[in-house]
A and B are shown apart, each in its own frame.
Chain A
Amino acid sequence: MEVEILKQENSVTAKLIGRLDTIASPEVAKALEPLKEVADKKIILDCSQMEYISSSGLRIFLSLRKEATIKRGTIVVKDINEDIRKVFMITGFLNLFEIA
């Protein structure tokens, strides 16, 4: 699992590559922790190359979302595949994030 963070003028894009499963979650959580600092801005989670997400991955998404809510920023989840969309649907995450 790899995480690439790209800072732009008014937003930060985090590209998640690979499987965000139970094993990967702790390290992804650590990598995404700095994003909470810029949670007042727009954070784009680029999922175009994310194959899989488990509940531990969802938890990372949810904690980011909570931070953004407090700091009045926005989180955009970009390009999720069908399987992940299904997971998002089952868990109600489709309603929590701006899906692009």
Chain B
Amino acid sequence: MKNGVLDRLKRWRPKTTFLLVLVAVISLEATALVQYFFSNDGIRKEAFLRAEGQLDATTAKIMDIVNQVEAAVRNTEWIASWAVENPDSLGAVSLRLVKDNPVIVGSTIAMVPGYYKKKALFSPYYFQEPKTKQVIFKSLATPEYDYPQQEWFKKPIELSSGYWSEPYIDEGGGEILMTTYSVPITDRSGKIAAVLTADVSLDWLTEIIEGVQVYQNSFGLLISRGGQIMVAPSETLIMKKSIMEAAESKANDEDREQFLRLNKALLSGESGTMQIVENGVKNDVYFSSMDKTGWSISVVIPDKEVYKGLRRVSWLVKLMQVLGLSMIILIIRLATKNLHRIQAINKNKERMENELHIGHEIQMSMIPKVFPPFPEREDLDLYASIVPAKEVSGDLYDFYIRDEKLFFCVGDVSGKGVPASLVMSVTRSLFRSISAHETLPDAIVSQMNNSLADMNETNMFVTFFCGVLDMPSGVLNYCNAGHNAPVFLNGKMDVLPVLPNLPLGIIKDMAYKGQEVEFKYDDSLFIYTDGLTEAENLNHEQFGEERMKAMLHPRRSAQEHLQIMQKAVEDFVGGAARSDDLTMLFIHYKNIRPHEQNWKITIHNNLKEMGLLTNFIKDIAKEKKIEESVASNINLAVEEAVSNIINYAYDKDYVGRIDIEAFKHDDSLEFVLKDSGKPFDPTARAEVDTTLKAEERKIGGLGIHLYKSIMDSVSYTRKDNMNILSLIKKI
């Protein structure tokens, strides 16, 4: 969460994105490559096997025919060797060979020139007309043809064995592509007398070779011993081109070179495989040679055919790679966007935390937190503490002394954190401003409630205990607005009785009812928020009132009480996180004020009786040897207070009484005025502005201002339907 980590993340991110993508690319590519090469290898092997199988099968088929032809010829050889003795029977032998063997389309027995004395050349030839399939006779012993010069005649004699001719197109006969198997025929004397031939049409070869279709667009080739192309997918190739010619037609040296190499391999009767590049197209050529005929059979497979499947797969793989990478980049971008957002949120949070911290400081600066708060007072021991559960608190306490009255409050705003603390601040301000001119807690609370309810759109509320303790008399007026009842330590340990008033801020114009209790010497009041009694330990047990009360002890000071209480809660809660603010206020009333003497006088609401008061004060001053000017001041103050009562407390026609008591304390003289007239709190009156010009000044208000200025303490309380005003002058 802290800055450093974020910054590192920020710097790290572009590099990380790049690295992630790079690693993904490399691993995907590597996988694809491995897969490609192994597949490639497998496919190549498979293609080789398939081609080889085809070649073997095709060779077997061709050899079958070749063997048939050779067998038929061999079986005719001995007849022919007999027949040479009788020239007229030669034709019958050839005719028989053609008729009995469907693959043999023509046959002759060509006599060695001069064997017959009468006939220099003799070669009766029977052949099957390709269309009609009729066997036709034809003599090859023509000077134009000059059969002794033909290869089919010369080679067997030369080799003294059977010979398969190079393929040729038979122009004299059927005009078809054929090859001839010829064997020398010896007579009974063992001399070569003739050559027996069997013409074989190559049509069936074409069929067989065309059947060599390992892949689509692959084709078979049959190449003769001399390098001539016998069977090829295109008719025009046949007989017109040898591999040699094909090689020579190549302009490119490299192309030519490979064709020549292939030619050489084929001519030497090798079997194997070779790669030929033609017009930039790679072809694999598988070839094997055949016995006897010396033909080579080849299968030419365009590379792209072999690898068509693989190529499709690798395209698919590439497509998936691109898709996958796009996804990765997308995810990373999304993640980084999130990171940005988280960063922004964190920055915001940090700022808020900072502001909360400031808020907390402001809040803490608002509540009095210098203890002891009234070091000069011997009649009061007060201590308060607030421990927020979160940075800022929704709890509050406040206290101050005005006109010998201790105004204090403890509140708990519903909710926690910032919203609660804002309401807390408002509540505290309201308490201060309203209590500046109101003395009765119920009036203070009612007005606070109206203000809070007015602006309460968030439905937050405040449980609130407000008290005003009249220090001289010990009378506590209080008003409880839904707060938990404080503990009143008056010898016993009673819970202070509280009326069921609603918390503040819920309903406007609620009439909050106040209550009253009298403090005796050494009585105490402990006010707290529910963060104390409802503090939970790990077992979800609450601290509770019993544990709280056990911590209260009459002999302890206010500060000791709160410190012990705080520690007890912390020990109880243990490792559990405190969930609520904890606020405590302890008031220990220690007013003894034993007076040496007291005087008493009662007058009525008649100005004429004022003289009695003047004499009453004069007598006390004389008795206590009070300086004349001080006595005069005291007289002025009391006179002003009493004349106000005379003038305003009662209706004109009503005869009301005013009890005036004077007490001599150690260092002061106190006058307590009691009347049962209309409630009137002079201490709550606005101050007179003594700086105004004559024409702006009001005639009234001077009296109150005078006695408040003259006396050291003026305090008012209303008790038992009486106004009680206490005026104290230090002497």
| A-to-B contact residues, CB < 8 Å | 21-23, 51-52, 54-56, 58-59, 62-63, 65-66, 69-70, 82-83, 86-87, 90-92, 95-96
Contacts and interface: CB of A to CB of B under 8 A. Distances in A.
B400 to A, nearest CB: 24
A22 B610 CA distance: 8
A51 to B, nearest CB: 8
A62 B700 CA distance: 10
A65 B56 CA distance: 145
A23 B610 contact: yes
A62 to B, nearest CB: 6
Given A55-B702, A62-B697, A83-B632, A90 B691 contact: no
B632 A96 contact: no
B632 A52 contact: yes
Given A22-B607, A82-B629, A65 B694 contact: yes
Contacts of B640: 54-55
B695 A69 contact: yes
Contacts of B629: 82-83
Given A59-B702, A90-B705, A91-B690, A21 B639 contact: yes
A11 B607 CA distance: 34
Given A21-B614, A82-B629, A52 B636 contact: yes
Given A83-B629, A90-B706, A54 B643 contact: yes
Interface in B623-665: 629, 632-633, 635-636, 639-640, 643
Interface string B328-347: 00000000000000000000
Contacts, number: 65
Given A54-B703, A54-B706, A90-B706, 10 more contacts: A22-B639, A23-B611, A54-B643, A55-B703, A59-B702, A63-B699, A82-B629, A87-B636, A91-B702, A96-B694
Nearest to A93: B690
A31 B652 CA distance: 25
Interface of B: 607-608, 610-611, 614, 629, 632-633, 635-636, 639-640, 643, 688, 690-695, 697, 699, 702-703, 705-706, 709-710
A71 to B, nearest CB: 12
Report, nearest first, the 5 A-B pairs whose CB atoms are least far apart: A92-B690, A55-B703, A55-B702, A90-B709, A22-B643
10 contacts: A23-B611, A54-B643, A55-B640, A55-B702, A55-B703, A62-B697, A70-B695, A82-B629, A87-B706, A92-B691
B705 A59 contact: no
A90 B699 contact: no
B693 to A, nearest CB: 8
Contact of B691 (A65, A83, A95): A95
A70 B357 CA distance: 60
Contacts of B608: 23
Contact of B643 (A56, A63, A66, A70): A56
Nearest to B697: A62
A58 B707 CA distance: 14
Nearest to B703: A55
A58 B321 CA distance: 103
A contacts with B: majority SS: helix
A83 B702 contact: no
Contacts of A91: 688, 690, 702, 705-706
A70 B695 CA distance: 9
B75 to A, nearest CB: 162
A22 B703 CA distance: 11
B614 to A, nearest CB: 7
Contacts of B643: 22, 54-56
Contacts of A58: 702
Contacts of B705: 90-91
A28 B693 CA distance: 24
Contacts of A87: 636, 706
A82 B703 CA distance: 19
B519 to A, nearest CB: 33
A66 B695 contact: yes
A51 B629 CA distance: 10
A20 to B, nearest CB: 11
A89 to B, nearest CB: 9
A90 B635 CA distance: 16
A52 B617 CA distance: 14
A65 to B, nearest CB: 5
A23 B607 contact: yes
A55 B688 CA distance: 13
A22 B697 CA distance: 20
A83 B633 CA distance: 7
Contacts of A83: 629, 632-633
A44 to B, nearest CB: 17
Contacts of B703: 54-56
Contacts of A54: 636, 639-640, 643, 703, 706
B621 to A, nearest CB: 13
A23 B610 CA distance: 7
Nearest to B706: A55
Contacts of B697: 62, 96
A70 B614 CA distance: 36
Nearest to A22: B643
Nearest to B704: A55
Given A87-B636, A90-B710, A69 B610 contact: no
B345 to A, nearest CB: 60
B711 to A, nearest CB: 11
A36 to B, nearest CB: 14
A22 B639 CA distance: 8
A22 B645 CA distance: 12
Nearest to A26: B607
Contacts of B607: 22-23
B355 to A, nearest CB: 46
B682 to A, nearest CB: 13
